Structure formats: structure tokens, C-alpha cells
């Protein structure tokens, strides 16, 4: 019942491929760390779908990761996991 209520509380239609934007300072391990965090929560995540963009000064990197999520709870847990990592500055 709680899964149905969670899905009704959002405008997102689940299940869906959801774009998550993850930003942080440029670091050799940034991309692989983000991929590992997502794959720990979502075994079907395909790293080849990650789109990468650097800032104009080259100090920051932005990754857009397209993740197939089945419900709001799964999406919220993914956001929490990514947001709690010290290398990650912003998750949208």
C-alpha cells in the first residue's frame, strides 16, 4: 500500500528512465564513484548512458545518468546515497 501512495504523491510516472544530474569537482575517480553508487542500488544501470560535461573553467564535472527506477522510494534512496558522498556536491 505504501508503494502505491508513494507513486501517487509524485508527478513522475513509474517505472521510468529518470535522468539524474550529479555534479562535483573534477577528480580521477568521480565518474567511477558515481557509477558504483548507482549500481549498488540499481543492478540494471547501464554506465554507457552517462553523459559527461565539464565546466568552462575545467574545475567541475557534471554527469547525467539515465537510471531505470520502479518507484519513488527507489529514486529517493538513490538521491540519498549520491548526496551523502563527500565527492558529490549537487544531485538534481
Summarised one tens digit per residue, pLDDT across range 13-66 is 999 999 999 999 999 999 999 999 999 999 999 999 999 999 999 999 999 999
User: Which CATH architecture describes the domain 2-91?
Assistant: 2-Layer Sandwich (3.30)
First to last CA, the chain: 28
* pLDDT tens profile 62-92: 999 999 999 999 999 999 999 999 999 999 9
Q: What is the pTM of this model?
A: 0.86
- Reported as a pLDDT band with limits 50, 70 and 90, residue 8 is low
Supply 83's cell numbers.
Answer: 548526496
Give me the residue spans of the domains in the chain.
2-91
What pLDDT shows up at residue 64? 98
Amino acid at each position: 500500500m505504501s508503494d502505491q501512495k508513494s507513486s501517487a504523491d509524485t508527478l513522475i510516472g513509474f517505472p521510468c528512465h529518470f535522468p539524474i544530474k550529479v555534479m562535483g569537482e573534477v577528480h580521477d575517480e568521480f565518474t567511477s564513484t558515481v557509477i558504483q553508487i548507482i549500481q549498488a542500488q540499481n543492478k540494471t544501470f547501464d554506465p554507457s548512458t552517462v553523459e559527461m560535461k565539464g565546466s568552462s573553467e575545467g574545475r567541475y564535472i557534471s554527469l547525467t545518468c539515465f537510471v531505470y527506477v520502479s518507484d519513488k522510494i527507489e529514486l529517493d534512496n538513490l538521491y540519498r546515497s549520491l548526496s551523502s558522498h563527500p565527492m558529490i556536491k549537487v544531485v538534481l
